[in-house]
Structure 1
């Protein structure tokens, strides 16, 4: 399946992201429909069988095309390219494949949790680094958040578009952007639970309107 548009190493990464999570109470297809145009989706769902994961990616790619979203697959560059994703979210154990992602014209992102990973992201020439956890989060049970100061240090070290992940919400994203202004950094943000909560509130409003009708 061809990608929707050619990509180059200078492409700007979205500032708002949804991470797919198999533990979510609301399916990722529903959550993707909440994203504003220009946002991004990172498809994980690693435990699915390859055929089921491919079908999910296909559904999300169709939504991304309709809503002008960017879709990344957390996998190898070869699979992301073959499935028609706009880019690849390259985990640390696939670090050696960063060059392949660039050759294929994919958006390249990586997770960053510490200084060593931030340096690797810089050397790999990533377009965006998902730096986490900024705040304590269900995805990292028991782990303390980095806090803004440590997060900003990693953002500067990674040398890519920094995306905050971990307990994020629109309000926390605005607070981080304000704190980062002095550093000349314009951080983006990514979430799972914030989108689940938004979807749940939307459902409650619909049920309330139906009940009062």
Structure 2
């Protein structure tokens, strides 16, 4: 798989419809399906997978590699505290790409050592979805991205004003919620 330049993170807390947003995504954008708390999650995931296949959009399902495999998603996205499970997931679902959320250089190193295919470093900038989280800032984030060969995506507070800084910092691209929903 050629990695996209951007990923849309779905978010059930915002009440937006990932199906409609995914239909309208720009080229070279993947989807991280994070609708955890909806009663129709499996049905929604299947519908989203159909849209993504039709559009050639990589789809990663968060937290549940079994669901990702059952809908023929491209991959599974793991929270930072699941990184140690990567070898077991890889053995059971070798066809899946694995991405992970990382919030520090230590987590990025662990993700690389466990065999993650790509990581999302966050929050790089101040973000609406986690207003109390201390952001890394572009300088600290750049030090982390330059210290590894693992493809790392910037996540957290991304706006068009950040594109040049994100690319200059060595990120493979970016992930966002509001950028695609607002």
| TM-score clears 0.5 | yes
Q: Which of 136, 142, 153 is the equivalent residue of 1:146? A: 136
Normalising by structure 1, what TM-score?
0.77
Aligned to 2:83: 95
Secondary structure of the residue aligned to 2:2 is coil
**What is the CA deviation profile of residues 161-186 of structure 1, one whole-angstrom value per residue up to 9, with x for unaligned ones?**
11111011233123321x23xxxx35
What CA distance in whole angstroms lies between the structure 1 residues aligned with 2:148 and 2:155? Answer: 15
Deviation at 1:83, TM superposition (A): 2.9
Residues in 1 aligned to 2:177 and 2:129: alpha-carbon distance in whole angstroms: 9
Q: Deviation at 1:96?
A: 3.3
**Residue 55 of structure 2: aligned partner:** 67
Matches within 5 A, 1:3-14: 11-14=1-4
The answer to which of 152-161 and 188-197 deviates more is: 152-161
List aligned pairs for 1:157-172, cutoff 5 A: 157-172=147-162
Distance 2:120 2:59 in 1: 15
Q: Deviations over 1:50-75 (max 9, x none)?
A: xx111111111111011110000012
Q: Deviations over 1:59-98 (max 9, x none)?
A: 1111101111000001232332123211000223332331
Q: Deviations 1:136-161 (Å, cap 9, x if unpaired)?
A: 00121222321111111222345311
What is the alpha-carbon distance in structure 2 between the residues aligned to residue 48 and residue 25 of structure 1? 10
Distance 1:86 1:169 in 2: 26
SS class of match (1:93): helix
Counterpart secondary structure, 1:136: coil
RMSD: 1.8
| Aligned counterpart in structure 2 of residue 188 of structure 1, from 151, 173, 179 | 173
| Unmatched segments (≥5 aa) in structure 1 | 1-10, 198-213
Checking the alignment, whether the CA contact within 8 Å between 2:158 and 2:176 is kept in structure 1 is yes
CA contact (8 A) 2:101 2:121 kept: yes
- Does structure 2 retain, via aligned residues, the 8 Å contact 1:121–1:158? no
| Partners of 2:6 and 2:175 within 8 A in 1 | yes
Q: State the match for 2:41 in structure 1.
A: 53
- Who wins on radius of gyration, i.e. which is larger? 1
Q: Deviations over 1:2-26 (max 9, x none)?
A: xxxxxxxxx4322211001012253
Distance 1:121 1:154 in 2: 13
Number of equivalent positions: 180
> 2: CA distance between counterparts of 1:163 and 1:23?
22
